[in-house]
Chains A and B, each alone.
Chain A
Amino acid sequence: MSRFGAFLAGLLFGVGLIVSGMTDPGKVIGFLDLTGNWDPSLAFVMLGAILVGFFAFRSAQRRTRTLLRSAMQLPQKRDIDARLIVGSVVFGIGWGLAGFCPGPALVSFGSGQDKAAVFVAAMLFGMLAYTVLERLIHEPRRRAKA
């Protein structure tokens, strides 16, 4: 049941990305091109998503269990540190270079686009490199210190 819910959520998310225009990298770059010929559309995507998301999370934060009776697992991290900022800046540079972020890249890959496939492969490699370094080097070292 929870898998079916996750599948439907992913599907609705993907259709929303296509309808909103976010699967077109030209449109994303048009939004980021603030000093050029600016396309404000992405701000409307965020507005619509946050409008619904705000009420959903407000209701979720008041619950300890989901509608399917499983545990709520909302993020607990609150620290604003160098990792957060450096990571986000590196992500932003990549986003600005190609006009793809993870969601639209996966949806475009699903529609059979070669360029999205190249992007997704490189993205997975980056995530894998990070995961391996984190699990093999940083976590044991942190545990040793503690």
Chain B
Amino acid sequence: MTIDWGHFTPWSSLAGGLMIGGAVGMFVLLNGRVAGISGILGGLLWPRPGEIGWRFAFIGGLLIAPAVMRLAASLPAPRIEAGFATLVAAGLAVGVGTSYGGGCTSGHGVCGISRLSPRSLVATAAFMLAGMATVFAVRHFA
């Protein structure tokens, strides 16, 4: 293992993390819910009555974030190596997996660990390890 010093951004990543924590904290104290993005989005597909407005509002905030960010700075260019077929396979796996496992990086990772939930800690360990194993497999065997 070597450290990729060229891409390592401890301060901006910490700052972004603090903002994410602020968003999650604000959401639980105002709306009384965990800010799990896969759950908020998935709940729109077959919504229970009275649960549509706040879900759309939260997702709308996420979608408009790049436009708001552009007012202050230019957006960094993303590096996306995946081609069409990989994006489709990955999207399907993320959609099915987060639904079946009841959460993603935000719900289990950020909120669950903040709540000290053993269930979310196990989920986070599982998706982190699976992600690392997948990147290892792609790097070495693909």
Interface residues of A (CB under 8 A from B): 2-27, 29-30, 32-42, 44-57, 59-61, 65-68, 70-75, 77-80, 83-103, 105-113, 115-116, 118-132, 134-135
- Find chain A residues with CB under 8 A from B117 CB: 75, 78
Task: Evaluate contact between B32 and A66: CB separation under 8 angstroms.
Answer: yes
- Find chain A residues with CB under 8 A from B113 CB: 46, 50, 53
Docked Cα-Cα span, A26 to B68, in Å, equals 23
Task: Evaluate contact between A115 and B87: CB separation under 8 angstroms.
Answer: yes
Q: How many residues of B contact A (CB 8 A)?
A: 110
Restricting to B87-110, which residues have a CB under 8 Å from any CB of A? 87-106, 108-110
Whether A2 touches B95, Cβ cut-off 8 Å, given contacts A17-B20, A21-B16, A131-B45, is: no
User: Which applies to chain B's interface (DSSP): helix, strand, loop or mixed?
Assistant: helix
The 19 sampled A-B contact pairs (Cβ below 8 Å) are A2-B31, A10-B60, A32-B131, A36-B2, A40-B8, A42-B13, A48-B14, A49-B20, A52-B22, A52-B25, A67-B29, A78-B117, A90-B101, A92-B127, A94-B94, A95-B94, A96-B132, A123-B95, A127-B95
